[in-house]
């Protein structure tokens, strides 16, 4: 899909977490541009604590996915599965994908980005990385590229994470996936009644 002009509010409104990807790769320039959008995010004390591990190697993505799937399989068979996954529908969805032996975790996306911070930066690091992540998702959306933040990536074994480039001194905040998809549309599912109090 060609880049097209969108007003910022339209980009924000139309960004969705996409869970189905075509295998078509992104170019290195496209990936770098997404990462640069992330690095433009604000951060506490301008520490810019984020570090990005980019994985476009299918075998490496599959290994990470398998590592997380082992963890999810254990959770599915636990007695508190519904409360862990949030609903019976999600339990069924994860179970089905595990049975299909698909890449349940990264949805077959051709580009996985692991966002890691040094353990010394854990106070504001998660917030800073979240800011960077949304910049990346919005920029990708504007470019016609689908994305999803993958919190489950935190359940990959430390051994696998180190194998793809994380340092012993670091922690994984979350993973992200990027790629092309024909399932980018969908209405936001939101409760806009979240202004708890407006003291006037």
Q: Which residues bind ligand FMN (CB under 6 A)?
A: 16-17, 19, 148-152, 174, 188
Residue closer to ligand FMN, measured from CB, 28 or 182:
182
Rounded to a whole number of angstroms, the minimum distance from the CB of residue 147 to ligand FMN is: 9
Residue closer to ligand FMN, measured from CB, 145 or 148:
148
- C-beta neighbour count of 38 within 10 angstroms: 23
Residue closer to ligand FMN, measured from CB, 54 or 156:
156
Residue closer to ligand FMN, measured from CB, 12 or 164:
12
Residue nearest to ligand FMN (CB): 151
User: Sign of the C-alpha dihedral, residues 23, 29, 33, 38?
Assistant: positive
Burial of 62 (C-beta count, 10 Å sphere; 0-12/13-18/19+): middle
Rounded to a whole number of angstroms, the minimum distance from the CB of residue 189 to ligand FMN is: 6
Rounded to a whole number of angstroms, the minimum distance from the CB of residue 68 to ligand FMN is: 9
Rounded to a whole number of angstroms, the minimum distance from the CB of residue 29 to ligand FMN is: 26
**Is the separation of the CB atoms in 152 and 130 below 8 Å?**
no
List C-alpha distances in Å: 157 to 71, 161, 164, 186.
9, 6, 11, 33
């Amino acid at each position: 899909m060609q880049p097209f002009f969108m007003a910022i509010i339209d980009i924000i409104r139309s960004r969705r977490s996409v869970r189905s990807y075509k295998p078509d790769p992104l170019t290195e320039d496209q990936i770098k541009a997404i990462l640069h959008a992330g690095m433009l995010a604000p951060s506490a004390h301008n520490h810019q604590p984020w570090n990005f591990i980019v994985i476009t190697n299918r075998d490496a993505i599959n290994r990470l996915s398998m590592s997380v799937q082992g963890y999810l399989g254990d959770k599915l068979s636990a007695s508190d599965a519904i409360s862990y996954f949030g609903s019976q529908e999600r339990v069924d969805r994860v179970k089905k994908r595990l049975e299909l032996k698909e890449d349940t975790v990264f949805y077959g996306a051709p580009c996985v980005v692991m966002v890691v911070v040094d353990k010394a930066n854990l106070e504001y690091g998660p917030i800073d990385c979240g800011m960077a992540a949304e910049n990346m998702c919005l920029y990708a959306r504007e470019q016609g590229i689908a994305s999803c933040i993958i919190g489950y990536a935190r359940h990959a074994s430390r051994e696998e994470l180190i194998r793809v480039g994380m340092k012993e001194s670091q922690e994984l905040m979350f993973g992200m996936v990027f790629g092309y998809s024909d399932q980018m549309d969908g209405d936001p599912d939101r409760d806009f009644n979240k202004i708890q109090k407006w003291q006037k």
